[in-house]
Chain A
Amino acid sequence: MATGAGTREEEAESGETVTASVIGGSGFTGGELLRLLAGHPNFEVSEVTSRSKAGKSVGSVHPPLRGTDLRFTEPDDLKGVDVLFAATPHGVSMGKIDEFFEVADTVVDLSADFRLESEAQYDEWYDGHDAPEYLERAEYALPEINRENLPGAELIAGGGCNATATILGLYPLFEHGILEGGEQIVVDVKVGSSEGGAGGGDASSHPERSGVVRPYAPTGHRHEAEIEQFLGTSVAFTCHAVDMIRGASATNHVFPSGPVSKGDLWSAYRDCYEDEPFVRMAAGGSGVYRYPEPKSVAGTNMAEVGFELDPANKRVVVFSAIDNMMKGSAGQAVHAANVALGFEETAGLEFAGLHPVGAP
């Protein structure tokens, strides 16, 4: 149910402001969503829910938003809006999706609840699915690989942060036939502590988390399902928790079956990304930051991708770096919503980052 006078398509064409709510707004990605929407020319935030923070000001939880007049509300009685962003933990949105569509025309879900295409995948990789009838209606949020299906999408499924980094790194190799699907691919992703969310836990407490280079989910990580779905092949995937707050940095070791030149690689990556507003290439250029680096993209919606050729080992090593809460979550969601609603793709996402900056 839209609160505006026109349909979603009419609003997009006219460039009018649409209303938005953020469900689960007290978490880290909820805060990032609110930061982005606050600076977005086409969104007006009308409601932010949080059961644990109801009644408190948004600025009391998210310091950059001090001075705004928004307060968290209970999620039980949602107002009608044009776009509902759900930043709730995995498993929540699938149980409330009917309720979400009763109050909004467009739902953008940042969790894993609608990323995969089939109920069988959720049975294999998660704990099943409560609303499988919605899976075929969902569109994956990553515009670089799904832009053509986003305009007019009603249900947008945000990609996983580690999957996003991996997919963006490897996608050009598949698009240009450098990889065909049968090759060995080993992916190692270093991740920051914000991937664990605001809730924390024993492993996330500062004394335990500080300084670690800790393997977690060394095999069988859930994001493998997304990577396989979009690249068409399985990857050997391992994550390390490292001592940063923001960031996912993927190192992808691939072994093409045929000869590959540096020119082949540049052709593939330039063709896929040269015109993308939120992907930039860093592959041995000049200066200190010659390869993708989470510090270079912290706070931005930018992904960096780069590569190096290792002829002696018949290997190509591909690097990709994102801010997990931005390109890996809230930024990707806003980017996808911009495409879906016909807004300027870069609207609300222009922040270029900081340099120098400490651990992101």
Chain B
Amino acid sequence: MTECVECGADVTLHDDLEVGEIVDCTTCGAELEVVETEPPVLERAPELEEDWGE
């Protein structure tokens, strides 16, 4: 268990977590990238940005 960096909710992680893996926060829906496993550290996964105003 660790905190979502976006909304602060608890994110449940499985045991065989790997660096680079993407997990979802079930509260805010953010995609989070595992950057360390011992202990687990999550960062916001990069998103493809949209701009429909151009």
A interface residues (Cβ-Cβ under 8 A, vs B)? 262-263, 266-267, 270, 274, 281-287, 290
Complex contacts, B28 vs chain A, CB 8 Å: 266, 281-285
For chain B residues 1-54, which have a beta carbon within 8 Å of chain A?
Answer: 6-9, 24-25, 27-31, 45, 47
Give the complex CA separation of A262 and B44 in angstroms.
14
B interface residues (Cβ-Cβ under 8 A, vs A)? 6-9, 24-25, 27-31, 45, 47
Give the complex CA separation of A262 and B45 in angstroms.
17
Give the complex CA separation of A261 and B45 in angstroms.
20
- Is the beta-carbon distance between B29 and A286 smaller than 8 angstroms? yes
- Is the beta-carbon distance between B27 and A281 smaller than 8 angstroms? yes
- Is the beta-carbon distance between A266 and B29 smaller than 8 angstroms? no
How far, in Å, is B37 (CB) from chain A's closest CB? 21
Complex contacts, A284 vs chain B, CB 8 Å: 6, 28, 30
Complex contacts, A285 vs chain B, CB 8 Å: 6, 25, 28-31
How far, in Å, is A288 (CB) from chain B's closest CB? 9
Give the complex CA separation of A99 and B27 in angstroms.
46
Complex contacts, A287 vs chain B, CB 8 Å: 29
A274-B27, A286-B47 provided; 19 other pairs, C-beta below 8 A?
Answer: A262-B6, A263-B8, A266-B8, A266-B9, A266-B28, A270-B8, A274-B9, A281-B28, A282-B29, A283-B7, A284-B6, A285-B6, A285-B29, A285-B30, A286-B24, A286-B29, A286-B30, A286-B45, A290-B29
- Is the beta-carbon distance between B7 and A286 smaller than 8 angstroms? no
Per CB-CB distance, the 10 closest pairs between chain A and chain B, nearest first, are: A285-B29, A286-B31, A266-B7, A285-B30, A285-B28, A266-B8, A281-B28, A286-B29, A283-B28, A286-B30
Give the complex CA separation of A267 and B30 in angstroms.
16
A282-B29, A283-B28 known; A270 vs B45 contact (CB < 8 Å): no
How far, in Å, is B46 (CB) from chain A's closest CB? 10
Q: List 22 A-B contacts (CB under 8 A).
A: A263-B8, A266-B8, A266-B9, A270-B8, A270-B9, A270-B27, A274-B9, A274-B27, A281-B7, A281-B27, A281-B29, A282-B28, A282-B29, A283-B7, A285-B6, A285-B25, A285-B28, A285-B29, A285-B30, A286-B31, A286-B45, A287-B29
How far, in Å, is A32 (CB) from chain B's closest CB? 27
Complex contacts, B29 vs chain A, CB 8 Å: 281-282, 285-287, 290
A286-B45, A286-B47 known; A267 vs B8 contact (CB < 8 Å): yes
Q: Which of A266, A274, A281, A286 has the most CB of B within 10 A?
A: A286
Complex contacts, B6 vs chain A, CB 8 Å: 262, 266, 284-285
Complex contacts, B47 vs chain A, CB 8 Å: 286
